[in-house]
Amino acid sequence: MKKKELFSRSGMVRGSMLSTNKEIYPTAFDGLDRVLPNGGWPRVGLTEILIPTISANVLRLLVPVLSEISKRKWIVMVSPPYAPFPLAWEQEGADISKILVVELPESESSTKQNMLWAYEQALRFDDCGAALFWGNDMSTLELRKLYLAAEAGGTWGIIFRSTSFINHSSPASLRIQLETLLPNECSSTTSNFSSPKFQGTILKGSDHSAGKQFSL
């Protein structure tokens, strides 16, 4: 499927179409696999990661699995705060030809709506393995629409938001709060990804995982 088809797909989804898929991607971190529902990142659905500040650090937690996914399917990033550094991803084994970054002009009068639309199309794209989005000001209805899109497309959707939204309701099946990030910043020109050190809490996942903490 060609890239231009990524943004040509849309449509409604019925509740009966929702997936109960429990397949996972191993995280590459044993401590995180032990606390996540089913033992890894979900292959389908919406994951919300709450972080204190927008930075590239959080990608260090995801790069191992995203690199593996890129060998088979597309990785789509919508409005990332930092441009991916190709050499760093290549060193992690990623196929950078399968990483698509969607940027919208700042002059757009309805940038938020356009970004949400673009992200929804990425989630519905049947050859997309993971779609990432950075955004705070989203209503529960907008998040619900993205959740349905991820289920319909069989895609792992990842949304990064500020921890200030911790008490806001979310349809995401998995919510994680990262409490501590790496002290040294990971800039867009970093040549490699060192081992991350995170402290986090599972806010929403399953009865046995909610409230569990992890340190990596």
Q: What is the pLDDT along the chain (216 residues), one digit of tens a residue?
A: 444 444 344 333 333 333 445 799 999 999 999 999 999 999 999 999 999 877 667 888 899 999 999 999 999 999 888 878 888 899 899 999 999 999 877 655 568 888 999 999 999 999 999 999 998 888 999 999 999 999 999 999 999 999 999 999 899 999 999 976 654 444 444 445 555 678 899 999 988 888 999 888
Specify the pLDDT at position 21. 54
Domains and CATH numbers, the chain: 43-215 (3.40.50.300)
Joined together, the tokens standing for residue 133 give 């989005």
Cβ distance 145 to 169 under 8 Å?
Answer: no
Stated as kind and residue range, the H or E segment containing 214 is strand 213-215
Specify the pLDDT at position 14. 35
Specify the pLDDT at position 196. 61
Q: For 175, list phi and psi in degrees, rounded to 5.
A: -125, 135
Closest residue by Cα to residue 180 from 64, 52, 81, 54: 52
140-153 helix and 111-124 helix, angle to the nearest 10 degrees: 30
Specify the pLDDT at position 193. 54
Specify the pLDDT at position 135. 85
Specify the pLDDT at position 195. 57
pTM score, two decimals?
0.82
Specify the pLDDT at position 15. 36
- d(Cα 197, Cα 50) in Å, to the nearest integer? 16
Specify the pLDDT at position 73. 97
